[in-house]
Structure 1
Amino acid sequence: MSGFIPQEFYYHLHWRARGAQPGAHATRTPGNGADFAGHVPFMDNPDPRRLDLRASMRVIPRRYVVRSFYERGAIVVYALLDVSTSMRFAGNAEKKRLLADITSAIAWSSTRHGDSFSLLACDDQVRQDLFVAPSHRRGMAQDIHKKILGAEIYTQRGALALPRAIEQVRPNRSLVFLISDFHLDESLLSRTLSSFSAHDVVPLVLWDSSEYRDLPDWGWARVRDLEHGGERSLFLRRRLKQEIEQSYLERKLELKTMCRKYGARTPFFIEDEFDAGLLTRHLLEAS
C-alpha cells in the first residue's frame, strides 16, 4: 500500500476563508497578500513601498494613500462518509473501495492545496474508529485509504448519525464533501443538509450501473435490501427495467433540487469509477 498514489483534483472557493493559517484562498484579513483590498490613508499603513501617487492626487481632501491587500488563508476540508449497509454493495465496482479512493484523493488534494483535512464517518452512530482530526501531515492520504479498506461496514445499519457529525466540525466555514449513495429517506437527507448549511457542501453520489442500468431485459433476479435486510425474487421485464431507470433519473433531479434548497453545491455523480479530472471540471465550473 505504500506505493499507492491518490488522484489529485482542484477546487476553488466562491467565498472568503476565515482563519489565521496561511494558505491559498482569499480572505478578508488585511495583510501582505496579493489580493487588492483598496486604498487606505498612509498613516493607517505607513509603508512607502505601497504608496499610490495617482490615487493620492484623486483623494479629497488631498492626502497620501497606500494600496492595501488581503492575506491568503487555509481552510479545513472535511470528508463526511456514509458507511451504512448499502455501501457494502459490489457490482461493476466495489463501493467500499471507491469510497477509499475518493476520500484519499480529497485528503491528498486538500493538503497539497495547503489546507487541512479531516475525516468523519457515520452509520447509525458517529464512527469514532474512523475519525481523523484536522491535519496536513505527509502520508495521511495513504493511511486513510488503508483505514477505510480495513473498516467494518456493519449489516442492517442506516446512516442516522449523519446530521450529528456537525458536532465534530469547527465553526469556521469549511468545505465538506458528503460522500454517499444517497439511498437515504428525504427526512434524513434534509436534516443532514440543514445541519451543514453554514458550510460549503459538495455532495458526491456513488452509484453502480449494475443497480439500475445494466439489468437484464427479461428473467428472474434476486433482490436484496442492504439497508433493512431481506431478499425477494423479482421478475424483470423491459417495462420494469425502464421504470427502474426512470426512478434513478427522477432521483437525480430530486437530489439536485434538495441541494439547491439547502445551499449545497450541485451533486457530482460517480458511477463505477472515480475520475479526478471530471471532479475538477465540475467544481471549477460550479464556482
Structure 2
Amino acid sequence: MSAPAGREGPPRADLPYRLFGRARGVAPGSHRAVGVGANGSFLRHASILEIPDARRIDMRASLLDPLGGIKVRRFENRARIDVFALLDLSGSMAFGRGGRADDPVAELVSAVAYAAARGQDRFGLIAAGPDPRADIAIRPTRRRGAADEVWDLLQRERGAGRGVASLIEAADELPQRRALVFVVSDFLMPEGQLEELMGRLWQHDVAPVVVRSSAVETRLPRFGLVETRDLETGRRRLMVMRKSLRERWIAAAKARRAALDAVFRRHGRPAFDLVDRFDPEAFADHLLSGGV
C-alpha cells in the first residue's frame, strides 16, 4: 500500500501502553496477568503441594527450609491483550483533515496498531458514525502489516453524516474479555450520548483521544467576517467576529473540554488531546504518566 505524497508511510512508535490492573489470558505476552506463569518475573517460593510442578523445584531453597519442605519457584504470569481503536467517522471528524499527507487521526491509529504488533498483542479497528462502517473494520490480528492497512484506510476516509448512533452501538462489537480500547473522536455529542457510550464500555479499559482543532478553538480572528459550516448538516452561517464573541467562543471551548474530562475521569482515566497534528512523543508521555 502506498503512502500519500509527502509521507513514506505511517509513523513507527513504540508506545508504552498498559492495562489498568492485570490481564486475563493464557496466550504469552508482555502484560502482567492473573495467575501463575512461566514467562514473568520471579515472585516468591511456594510449597510443591501448592504448585505441583517438579520443573520449578529450587534445591537450595528446599535445603534451607527448616521444616524440610520442597520449595518451587513461583513466577508472575504475563499474557497478551487485545488493543482496539473505536473510531468516530461522523462528519465533524473531517474538519482540518482533507488533503493532508500528515492526517493526525490516521497517524495516531496506525501508531497504535504498530505498537500492538511490536508488543505481541492483537489490534482491531471498529469505525462508525451515523451508520456502521464495516468496510473500515479490521478484525483483531497480530499481523505486522495492520499499521499500513490502517494508514491506507484512514487516509482515504475522513467521515461523513450526522450523529454517532452507530458508534455507540459499535461498542457492543467488542469482545467480552477485557481489552484496551482507544476511543478516537471529537466527542461533539450530547452529554447523554457520551454517558451511554462510556457506559457500554464499562468492562474494558478505555483510553479516550479527543480530536481538536486550534482553528476553531483558539486561532480565531479578533475582528472580521467569519463563515462557519456544520460538516454534519452542511449548513453555513456568516457572523461578525468581535472581541466579546471571540472571548465567549474560547471560554465555551474550554468549558466543553473540562466537562469531557470530568466524564472521562469518572469512567477511569484522562483523555489525550490530539490537536492539529500527531506528536508520538507527547502521546508516549501521556501513556507513561498514567493516561494508559
Cα 1:126–1:36 change in 2 (3 A) is: farther
2:216 equivalent among 191, 196, 211: 211
Q: CA deviation at 1:238?
A: 1.1
CA distance in 2, matches of 1:82, 1:200: 18
CA distance in 2, matches of 1:227, 1:210: 18
Task: Tell me whether 1:267 sits opposite 2:267 in the alignment.
Answer: no
Q: Which residue of 2 aligns with 1:150?
A: 156
CA distance in 2, matches of 1:226, 1:189: 20
CA distance in 1, matches of 2:99, 2:62: 62
Task: Tell me whether 1:57 sits opposite 2:65 in the alignment.
Answer: yes
Q: CA deviation at 1:35?
A: 2.9
Q: Which residue of 2 aligns with 1:278?
A: 282
CA contact (8 A) 1:117 1:135 kept: yes
CA contact (8 A) 1:82 1:179 kept: yes
Letter in 1 for 2:116: S
2:247 equivalent among 223, 242, 246: 242
Q: Which residue of 1 aligns with 2:29?
A: 23
CA contact (8 A) 1:52 1:64 kept: no
CA distance in 2, matches of 1:105, 1:25: 19
CA contact (8 A) 2:57 2:70 kept: no
**Matches of residues 226-237 of structure 1 in structure 2 within 5 Å?**
226-237=231-242
Letter in 1 for 2:184: I
CA distance in 1, matches of 2:110, 2:131: 22
Task: Tell me whether 1:108 sits opposite 2:114 in the alignment.
Answer: yes
Cα 1:104–1:77 change in 2 (3 A) is: same
Q: CA deviation at 1:166?
A: 2.4
Cα 1:77–1:95 change in 2 (3 A) is: farther
Instruction: Structure 2 unaligned segments of length 5 or more: list them.
Output: none
CA contact (8 A) 1:56 1:63 kept: no
Q: CA deviation at 1:94?
A: 5.4
**Matches of residues 122-133 of structure 1 in structure 2 within 5 Å?**
122-133=128-139
Q: CA deviation at 1:153?
A: 2.5
Task: Tell me whether 1:176 sits opposite 2:174 in the alignment.
Answer: no
**Which whole-Å deviations, capped at 9, do the CAs of 1:97-130 have from their partners, x for residues lacking one?**
2221111111111111111100000111221111
Q: In the comparison of the two structures, how many residue pairs are matched?
A: 283
**Which whole-Å deviations, capped at 9, do the CAs of 1:6-42 have from their partners, x for residues lacking one?**
2312213331111122111111132212233443212
Q: CA deviation at 1:70?
A: 2.5
1:76 equivalent among 82, 88, 104: 82
When normalised by structure 1's length, the TM-score is: 0.91
> Equivalent residue of 2:123, what SS?
strand
Q: CA deviation at 1:177?
A: 0.4
1:256 equivalent among 231, 254, 261: 261
Cα 1:94–1:241 change in 2 (3 A) is: farther
**Which whole-Å deviations, capped at 9, do the CAs of 1:114-169 have from their partners, x for residues lacking one?**
11100000111221111100001122111111111223623x32211222122221
Letter in 2 for 1:47: R
CA contact (8 A) 2:42 2:74 kept: yes
Instruction: Structure 1 unaligned segments of length 5 or more: list them.
Output: none
The Cα RMSD (Å) is 2.3
CA contact (8 A) 1:82 1:159 kept: yes
CA distance in 2, matches of 1:53, 1:127: 58
1:225 equivalent among 227, 230, 243: 230
Task: Tell me whether 1:36 sits opposite 2:42 in the alignment.
Answer: yes
CA contact (8 A) 1:89 1:95 kept: no
